[in-house]
Chain A
Amino acid sequence: MSRNASNNILDRPLGFRATPAGRSSDVSSVSLSAFAYVYSELVQYHQGRAASISELERRLESAGYGVGLKVLECVAYRGKEMKRETRLMSILHFVSSSVWKSLFGKSADSLERSIDNQDEFMIVDYEPITSTFVSVPQDLGQLSADAYVSGIIAGVLDGAGFSARVTAHNVQVEEGENSRPPTNATPGMPRRTEKAVFLVKFSPEVLERDATLER
């Protein structure tokens, strides 16, 4: 069995876009449109069954949770060293680089530690694919369409033994903050004005354990 087979559709990251000629420029990834339609149906399905915005987010998170558990096994197995991370910072790096690359074909844009709270970390993505085509209506207010991704992160962390509460937030991008050109936006789509911040809050016992390992 090949460990880095990219010809199987299940092994490819998302984010493929057809070129105007109709031929793909990058055959090593899965159609973003196909994903957008499936995800849109997923959101609509849960929206019809959720009574509130927070319940909708919670439902999307639990949909992603199982994905996270499986992705952890898959990525850890395929990694060069086939090892499991045991330290807090290394598992966060693992999530924001390896997991992100295998799912979305790029690393997360940044990983930050919260200044106010020692147990909080932030993974930032300027162009999360789950909200590429989403405009959240006014009456849904603070809903983040990226709750699904936060569920995936929670699944990966939980599976690795770092129980954490992960939430997704939309934050306005400051002028000149993200100078990189948009990567996978359709030509003509406006630049994203909001970035997704995934707030990871670890359980106290996880921090305790990491502190013990520090010695």
Chain B
Amino acid sequence: MGFLHLFIVNKSGGLILHRSLGPRAPSIGTNDWLRIGSTFHSLHAIAAEASPVRLPKNKNPSGADDGIQQIEGSGVTLKCLQTRTGIKFVLTAEPGTTDIDTALREIYVLYADCALKDPFYELEMPIRCELFTSAVDNLIERLEQSKMSAVR
């Protein structure tokens, strides 16, 4: 059990951040990540089209566009948090990992704090804020530790 990867896709399907979160995360090159990011973006849009039930204005209860929220595999769980502004925060983890939703929401808060309030960050561009990446690492470490102490 543990977190594997985080990636963030902007509203036009461009990958703006990818980060491996644990030693067991498979190593994937940056080019492949760009491909995964834009593929996920398209699948997310197609999934809403393919759904037999169309939500009013295609918005889910939280006000974001409807689409993939979770993908389950026997070796991996993927969860996606799409914001109202169209940014997707996607976490992959090993099955059985708890707190993925909490982690996604906290990452959204950190993005709003560390990237959007940084004068040197340009919207829709790749995130290169040291503060953000170290805050994400701190958060994941904290969640993993609280899980460890819960097991004991």
Contact = CB atoms under 8 A, between A and B. Distances in A.
Interface stretch (A70-78, A82-90, A129-137, A202-210): A129-137
Given A189-B135, A190-B131, A190-B138, A136 B120 contact: yes
Interface of A: 33, 36-37, 39-44, 47, 132-137, 140, 145, 186, 188-190
Contact of B120 (A37, A41, A137, A189): A137
A137 B114 contact: no
Given A188-B138, A189-B135, A190-B135, A134 B119 contact: yes
A134 to B, nearest CB: 6
Size category of the B interface is 10 to 19
Nearest to A192: B131
A42 B117 CA distance: 12
B21 interface: no
Interface of B: 106, 109-110, 113-114, 117-120, 128-132, 134-135, 138-139, 142
B114 A189 contact: yes
Contacts of A189: 110, 113-114, 131, 135
A202 B129 CA distance: 36
A135 B118 CA distance: 7
A127 to B, nearest CB: 13
B117 A33 contact: yes
